[in-house]
Amino acid sequence: MNSRERMLAILIGTVVVGVVGIVGIHWVLGQFASRKAEMIRLADETKKFKLQATAGQIASQKLAAFEAKSFPKTPEIAKTLYQDWLLTELETAGLAKTKVAYQSTYNEKGLYAKQLFNVSAEGTLPQLVDFLHAFYSRDWLHRITNLSIVPTKDNHKLLQIGLTLDAVSLVKAKDFADLEMRTSERLALASRDEYHQAIVARNSFGPVNNAPKITVSGGAAQNVFLGRTAEVTVKGTDPDPLDKVQYRLVDSDSPDAKLDPITGKLTWAPKAEGKYEFVVEGIDDGNPRKPSQQEKIVLNVTPQPPEDKLAFDDAKYTALVAVLDLDGKGEVWLHRRAAEQIVKLHVGDQFEVGSIKGTVAEIGEFDFSFDSGEQRRKLAKGDFLIQAKAVARPPAAASAPVSSSQAELPVQAKGEDRAS
């Protein structure tokens, strides 16, 4: 083999080795690419399985949460408990003419039973807000699908209310005798009062509300006596004929003072002399509620005046209970009820009972006459002494003998003499 043949053989061998090398490299690279694709596919499937597992866990958690919120799985039990709860909340809100009617039950593929209810009631907007707040405060599987509000023709404050509600029972839920009062976290505002401010204050169903006015009976400044209960009445008027006024004690110099929110009567028993101030206001029940201007009541406490001895008049409670003829001698019995005593009098006897003072002038068959000062008065049987009527004094009465005897007063009646 000459040199030219040798060079050709070397060249051919080099080409063959290169081709084999290139084919080998491509095969190796193909194997790496295939393995990488397989790894990516397996990683994707693993990720998918993990997502499915996570979704399954989330679904299980949600299902468990729904089961906790579910009504009893037995529809009849759920219907009874839910109807009772609705009626209770409607009554608590103050709504009237309430009616809760079961409509139907819808079953979904053996997963849950949905019961439909219709509710009708009559009430004010604040009462409706109270019920809706109570409804959405419960974390149950229930919802309001329709709400209708229609003001009555003669009273804009009174609303005719209609609601359609759903209540769901999961088939995997448990049966129980009482509803668990679960608290919902879906309310946007923190308190019921905030909903009143946001909804009731807009007064969507009536005219603009006007504030009431109040006055104080007897004037804003009055004198009261130490040791006696003071009573002052606050009276309110409202330009809106449908509104009612209640009363509130805003400020008081004495914690013992009480103001009746309905009657407006302020009662207070002072314990020391001095000047005491009380601030009151009236509040109507319009939408929104509006207060009146505040009024200041000033009570000047002074010492108690001397007791009036005739503050209790015994003559008002002393009655003529008997007119007797004892051996031709007339006798009358006066029953002093306050002391449970009988006073026996004859013609010429002097007596003094309470504010009445006199001398017995005549004793008739069913009455007797007595002279009191310059006046003659007659008292009929069964009447009280204070009811004795003035009569004309007969001419002979001036010369009639007057006994110097005086009735002993009071005379304690004996057992057989005590009036029944």
Could you read off the pLDDT of 142-189 as tens digits, one per residue?
A: 999 999 999 988 888 899 999 999 999 998 899 999 999 999 988 999
CA 420, CA 411: separation in Å to the nearest integer?
16
288 in a domain, yes or no? yes
Is residue 197 domain-shared with residue 90, that is, in the same domain? Answer: yes
Asked if the structure places residue 48 within a domain, the reply is no
pTM: 0.55
pLDDT value of position 61: 75
- CATH number, domain of 251, equals 2.60.40.10
Flag whether 419 is in a domain. Answer: no
Any idea what the CATH number is for the domain that residue 95 is in? Answer: 3.30.70.60
In Å, the largest CA–CA distance within the chain is 201
Q: Are residues 184 and 224 in the same domain?
A: no
Token pair 């009504």 is found at 71
The answer to the question of residue 180 being in a domain is: yes
148 contacts: CB under 8 Å, gap ≥ 6: 160, 161, 162, 163
Listed in sequence order, the residues at least 6 apart from 171 whose beta carbon sits closer than 8 Å to its beta carbon are: 73, 110, 111, 112, 113
Pick left, alpha or beta for residue 274 (phi over 0 → left; psi -120 to 50 → alpha; otherwise beta).
left
In a domain, 307, yes or no: no
- Give me the average pLDDT of each 10-residue run along the chain (420 residues): 76 81 81 84 82 69 83 92 96 96 87 94 94 96 95 88 95 91 90 90 83 91 91 94 94 95 95 95 91 95 69 89 91 92 94 93 94 92 92 62 41 38
- Per residue, the 3-state secondary structure of the chain, as one string, reads CCHHHHHHHHHHHHHHHHHHHHHHHHHHHHHHHHHHHHHHHHHHHHHHHHHHHHHHHHHHHHHHHHHHHCCCCCHHHHHHHHHHHHHHHHHHCCCEEEEEEEEEEEEECCCEEEEEEEEEEEECHHHHHHHHHHHHCECCCEEEEEEEEEECCCCCCCEEEEEEEEEEEECCCCCCCCCCCCECCCCCCCCHHHHHHHHHHHCCCCCCCCCCEEEECCCCEEEEECCCCEEEEEEEECCCCCCCEEEEEEEECCCCCEECCCCCEEEECCCCCEEEEEEEEEEECCCCCCECCCEEEEEEEECCCCCCCCCCCHHHHEEEEEEEEECCEEEEEEEECCCCEEEEECCCCEEEECCEEEEEEEECCCEEEEEECCEEEEEECCCEHHHCEEECCCHHHHCCCCCCCCCCCCCCCCCCCCCC
Taking the C-alpha atoms of residue 240 and residue 243, their distance in angstroms, rounded to an integer, is: 6
Q: Examine residue 261 and say whether the peptide bond preceding it is cis (omega within 30 degrees of 0).
A: no
Q: What pLDDT digit, counting tens, does each position of 192-222 carry?
A: 999 998 888 887 787 888 999 999 988 889 9
Domain count for the chain: 3
Together in a domain, 155 and 96: yes
pLDDT of residue 415: 36
Query: Does residue 412 fall inside a structural domain?
Result: no
pLDDT at 394: 76
Domain that holds residue 97: 75-202
What is the pLDDT at residue 66? 84
Q: How many CB atoms lie within 10 A of CB 50?
A: 10
pLDDT of residue 396: 54
In a domain, 6, yes or no: no
| Residues 164/144, Cβ–Cβ less than 8 Å | yes
Does some domain include residue 14?
no
What pLDDT does residue 347 have? 94
User: What does the alpha-carbon distance between residue 90 and residue 412 come to, in Å, rounded to a whole number?
Assistant: 66
Rounded to whole angstroms, the Cα distance separating 61 from 59 reads 5
Statement to judge: residues 181 and 102 lie in one domain? yes
Q: What is d(CA 119, CA 131) in angstroms, rounded to the nearest whole number?
A: 12
